[in-house]
Chains A and B, each alone.
Chain A
């Protein structure tokens, strides 16, 4: 791999060194400049549920993700929020092709990536990298972090002895660490620092999209703040797009341009950040937002959280029609019969509810 001249300078001051414009290894920019970087349509992932202990025949289907569609533009952050089991992580992994979706289409950079031959999938992965939640299990404890960071370069045949080392130093600087840390081992770093190393490893190939799966939820708040700032900063400098998967609605508000809320395998509301946070229209995001405690005693005591009844139904046997109807205070006959489409119902952003109505809950 030959680095563009700008990238050989200190990246901190010449942020454009890793910018998208120059594609040093000959990767062409997308054919259609107007098309979104990532275009997900009707993504479905069903897992077989197997019973018994010996024969393991299929006894049911887990409907993990059911017809999810969204776009991510270049350099944009889409926050994908929802509670445990809503399918947000499965969605991220299906996009990365780490699991094979049951059906649907994922277009990345103008190209359908589902069903690509392995060789081409690997090529595509250069442009689409991932950062996982747990910084303790995603690094090899016996490998110096510099080598962990260089590994993607080796895998993609882009390692060059001279510039490779420099490249590792550059990404370490980029994530707020120092090139001299390359020889250290993971156990010498704190949780926040390991997460920075995970981000460095994801960035070394100069991807166009980073899938971040709960990247700060394992960190204490004072450390989390630094990593959130880093992600903000990197996006401004590198123009990389983020799919930010998280359950923490405050962090998502801070970092996202647009937000999608999932419930039981479906997106129930999606739109510009402020639009969704100021005027949520679907009862579920309303309940979700109303339940997040705000660290301000007077404000928090004057709020009244919407407390939902019962538990999330099993994804093995989801309710007919609207999946939220079993816990919804607005539910009517139609909600059981007809699945509400995710369309703009006059509130400015798409919402999947027959009785959508904006409410201020934050």
Chain B
């Protein structure tokens, strides 16, 4: 992993985190070693498809996984290890200094209390203020996140709000204690696009007003493109590429990232080119992969890929182009034996634009 700029203040770091679920039918290797860090005010986007381990990573760092999850590695917040802390020890950090937003707002809201009560409760749990003051602040927060008619709506219950409005209430709660980090796991995934725009605009306001750093987990590369300073791409429980948004979107060095970008239909393109399809499907995580987990789907697969899982390595050290040198300087890393060849390779030469099914049928 690249060293983040310490002068800007690294506030959160994860080292060699692994999560294994013990199940009745065997172990599931959900996260197989992930390192990342977050500087203050930074936005780090984690992308990946279903089952890549991005949400499990977030839940593990916050101590929110069920008991059958075995977690190893280290998670540090402002230099202090927070992995394995008791609920009581975590309480002053979780929810206050690290605020969380999940896909379904009803996982964060209690249906039997008014939203005003819940925001005030969040404030009073961490700050010594009167009920009246807390309620006043709740109204102000609802206004900040763009809830129309906040004075009246503060005494409504969650079910009286639409899905998008509820998510904005959750953002208001997240803002309540001036967090240093907001962790958002698929915050807009189930929402309509104009509602998503409302929620993202509230999230932006929250970042501006609190100055918090954001860990944004989503499968939506468009949302990542608009928000993230740095991007971490996950595949099969590990990061396979990390870099600035520009590095990852314009100079992808891992064939998986390449294929993912090529498979997206584009709103800004008139071309009716067939979409690129990554053959096959992600591996089942019930066995630790031998070699590169992307190898079975990779067009550049070679013998070494079958036997040796590539670590994250700086991109462009052996390169010759100016752009690649820039990539190395900005901390662009990729887990591919052929990363330097992948940079600049046209996606058309790597992935088929086919309509034939590319997955294997289970037997």
Contacts and interface: CB of A to CB of B under 8 A. Distances in A.
Interface of A: 83-84, 175-177, 181, 184, 188-190, 192-193, 196, 220-226, 228-230, 232-234, 247-251, 253-255, 274, 277, 287-301, 303, 305-311, 362
B249 A297 contact: yes
A193 B265 contact: no
B250 to A, nearest CB: 8
Contacts of A254: 265-266, 272, 275
A137 B144 CA distance: 42
B361 interface: yes
6 contacts: A220-B219, A224-B263, A225-B264, A226-B356, A233-B274, A307-B201
Interface stretch (B132-140, B187-195, B298-306, B310-318): B187-195
A84 B191 CA distance: 9
B155 interface: no
Contacts of A230: 355
A293 B201 contact: no
Interface stretch (B73-81, B87-95, B222-230): B222-230
Contact of B259 (A222, A249, A296): A222
Contacts of A303: 226
Given A221-B260, A225-B263, A274-B270, A291 B196 contact: yes
Contacts of A310: 148
Given A288-B194, A291-B193, A296-B225, 4 more contacts: A294-B268, A297-B250, A299-B268, A309-B148
Interface in B189-228: 192-198, 200-201, 219-226, 228
Nearest to A233: B355
Contacts of B264: 221, 225, 250, 295
Q: For chain B, what secondary structure do more than half of its interface residues adopt (helix, strand, loop), or is it mixed?
A: loop
A107 B278 CA distance: 41
A250 B265 contact: yes
Q: Across chains A and B, which 4 residue pairs bring their CB atoms closest together, nearest first?
A: A293-B222, A291-B197, A254-B265, A225-B275
Interface string B253-274: 0000001111111111110101
Contacts of B361: 177, 181, 184, 188-189, 193
B165 interface: yes
B156 interface: no
A250 B267 contact: yes
Contacts of B354: 176, 226, 229
Contact of B266 (A220, A223, A250, A297): A250
B49 interface: yes
B226 A300 contact: yes
Interface residues of B, number: 58
Contact of B353 (A229, A289, A292, A293): A229
Nearest to B164: A311
B309 interface: no
Nearest to A256: B272
Interface in B313-363: 353-359, 361-363
Interface of B: 49-50, 146, 148, 162, 164-165, 192-198, 200-201, 219-226, 228, 245-246, 249-250, 259-270, 272, 274-278, 281, 353-359, 361-363
B265 A223 contact: no
B327 to A, nearest CB: 15
Contacts of A362: 267-268
Contact of B275 (A175, A181, A228): A228
Given A176-B357, A225-B276, A297-B246, A307 B193 contact: no
Nearest to A303: B226
Given A232-B355, A291-B193, A253 B265 contact: yes
Contact of A311 (B162, B267, B276, B359): B162
B266 A294 contact: yes
Nearest to A222: B278
A226 B222 contact: no
Contacts of A297: 225-226, 228, 245-246, 249-250
Q: Which of B165, B264, B266, B267 has the most CB of A within 10 A?
A: B267
A222 B359 contact: no
A189 B193 contact: no
A293 B270 contact: no
Contacts of B362: 188-190
A285 B354 CA distance: 32
A294 B276 CA distance: 17
Given A193-B361, A250-B266, A250-B267, A176 B220 contact: no
